[in-house]
Amino acid sequence: MFKLKSLSIVESMDELMALPEGKLLINTINAHSYNTALKDHLFADALENGDALIPDGASIVKACRWIHAKSRPKERIAGWDLFAMEMERLNAKGGKCFFMGSSEKVLALVKKRAEVDYPNVMVETFSPPYKPEFTDEENKAIVEAINRADPDLLWVGMTAPKQEKWTYRHWNELDIHCHVGTVGAVFDFFAGTAKRAPLWWQRHSLEWLYRLLKEPKRMWRRYVIGNALFLWNIFTKG
């Protein structure tokens, strides 16, 4: 059974930066994804069996301490932190990055900003069909596009749990040599089509509240009900 208490979670940015080169799957976990994984076995498998799992939520950092978990993260590491660290490192040496997910509009904005922020990184993109499940032909086209690009860094952004499950399902078909991050909203943050909470909110672990206040109709169930459910789950199921 999927348990926060027994998960191996990256405990610091130093640990994240020390990950070896090569083909590695890096996922994130927060209260919402933990709740979802308890009901979705494939998603749980994807999170448990990746190469690194980062604590993208102050709730995860605190809960691991409360329940005396195997891993005790010292700090929250957001998907954005992973993205910035990997992109800066690739820019320093030069290479190719592939963005898979989101719309053509968002990907065009991503490419435009990357040219300015990371001039030594060549960017290729692929916008998959907007639908819950892809056909075999569509999956094959995505895998072939990634393999043909042979990137030095791959980002998958289709929101959780879809992005994690897709990457996990097709991991052995991806003939690549690089770090792979499933980062969802980071595509929109980087493109400028969505905004992160201001730094004060981030530093005080209130990014979730900022998102709730900005989009109450879309986010109330995730944060009001979801946060209460998360507390119930960690103390009853670990």
Asked whether 148 and 62 are in contact (CB, 8 A), the reply is no
Q: Is the pLDDT of residue 61 over 90?
A: yes
pLDDT-derived band at 33 (thresholds 50, 70, 90) equals very high
- Edge-first strand order for the sheet with 52-55 is 52-55, 24-29, 179-182, 153-157, 95-101, 121-126
Measured between alpha carbons, how far is 23 from 38 in angstroms, rounded to an integer? 27
Q: How confident is the prediction for the chain on average, in pLDDT? A: 94
* Domain assignments of the chain as residue spans, ordered by start: 4-189, 197-233
pLDDT digits (tens, 9 = 90+) for 129-183: 999 899 999 999 999 999 999 999 999 999 899 999 999 999 999 999 999 999 9
**Which residues have a Cβ under 8 Å from the Cβ of 14 and sit 6 or more positions away?**
none
Q: Which of 12-21, 57-66, 69-78, 189-198 has the lowest mean pLDDT?
A: 189-198
For residue 105, how far is the Cα from the chain centroid?
Answer: 20
DSSP 8-class letter at 121: E
pLDDT digits (tens, 9 = 90+) for 100-122: 999 999 999 999 999 999 999 99
Domain 4-189, second-level architecture: 3-Layer(aba) Sandwich (3.40)
